[in-house]
Amino acid sequence: MKLFAIDTALAAASVAIWADGAVVHIESLALERGHADKAPPLAKAAFAATGLAVRDMDRIAVTVGPGSFTGLRAGLAFARGLALGTGDGGAALPVVGVTTLQAFAAMAPPASETEAVLAVIDAKRGEVFFQMFEGETDAPLTAPAAAAPETVKAEALAAAEGRPLRLTGSAAIEMAALLQAAGAPVTVANAEGAPDIAAVARWAAGAPAPTGPPEPVYLRPPDAKPQAPSALALSVEGAKKPQ
């Protein structure tokens, strides 16, 4: 299998090419914004370095969130554009959606068979995005959600049922301190600001064939709110109405 992976959901724009069971090339750039502009040049560099092209791929993978609203939209649009642009009138490439929480969990292989994995991402506004996984299989123990750290602590302790916890993601250090204060056995696997694109590619390569296009995972409304109409706009709208 050959696969092209894209991540623009969090604090990086990254792409990777997976071929015959391994990642053969990665391009990555740490950034907070501008993902839509950076992803295409990174893709071009990756394909040039490997001598491969989009038409050589069997599927495309893209992170679907939770994360930045603008970053998610940029990644999904780019993935769909590549999938549809394979040319020659052929069918679009399948696109596999990978959540950022799944990718972080894949970056935290368990140290023992009893461990559970807690993926936690700083969601700002006093919240974290989180999800619990079985350590050995990466099977989800809880649904992805957004909550205050104290709520996450309570849910993680309940889901772990006394097992050691392995934390991964940008909020791992802060959550580890809370859990340790509650007496939980905790290890921090990483505290990266964005998932490893190799983990995204690895997860997507082993995933079942998708049955439809990926959808973004939004766990709360966007920070930006529609602007109220200005006085000028209201007056112009009023002028359009029949008297």
User: Model confidence over 129-148: pLDDT tens digits?
Assistant: 999 999 888 899 999 999 99
pLDDT digits over 148-178, tens only?
A: 999 999 999 999 999 999 999 999 999 999 9
pLDDT of 236 strictly over 50? no
pLDDT digits over 190-225, tens only?
A: 999 999 999 999 999 999 999 999 999 999 876 544
pLDDT of 231 strictly over 80? no
User: Is the whole-model pTM more than 0.85?
Assistant: yes
| Distance from C-alpha of 159 to C-alpha of 165, rounded to nearest angstrom | 10
What does DSSP assign to residue 211? Answer: S
- State the pLDDT at residue 137: 86
Secondary structure class of 231 (helix, strand, coil) = helix
pLDDT band, residue 110 (cuts 50/70/90): confident
| Count of all residues that appear for the chain in the document | 243
Cis before 66 (ω within 30): yes
> Over the chain, what is the mean pLDDT?
90
What is the CB neighbour count within 10 angstroms for residue 119?
32
Q: Which residue's structure tokens are 């959550």?
A: 175
Tokens for 1? 């299998």
Q: Calculate the alpha carbon distances from 183 to 159, 170, 174, 176 in Å.
A: 15, 22, 15, 11
pLDDT of 126 strictly over 90? yes
| Distance from C-alpha of 95 to C-alpha of 59, rounded to nearest angstrom | 6
- State the pLDDT at residue 85: 78
- State the pLDDT at residue 90: 61
Q: What is the DSSP string of 45-107?
A: HHHHHHT--GGG-SEEEEE--SS-HHHHHHHHHHHHHHHHT--TTPPPPPEEEE-HHHHHHHT
| Distance from C-alpha of 238 to C-alpha of 207, rounded to nearest angstrom | 54
Contact, 123 vs 66, CB < 8 A? Answer: yes
Tokens for 32? 């907070």
Sheet holding 59-63, edge to edge: 22-30, 12-19, 2-7, 59-63, 95-98
pLDDT digits over 7-37, tens only?
A: 999 999 999 999 999 999 999 999 989 999 9
pLDDT of 55 strictly over 90? yes
pLDDT of 113 strictly over 90? no
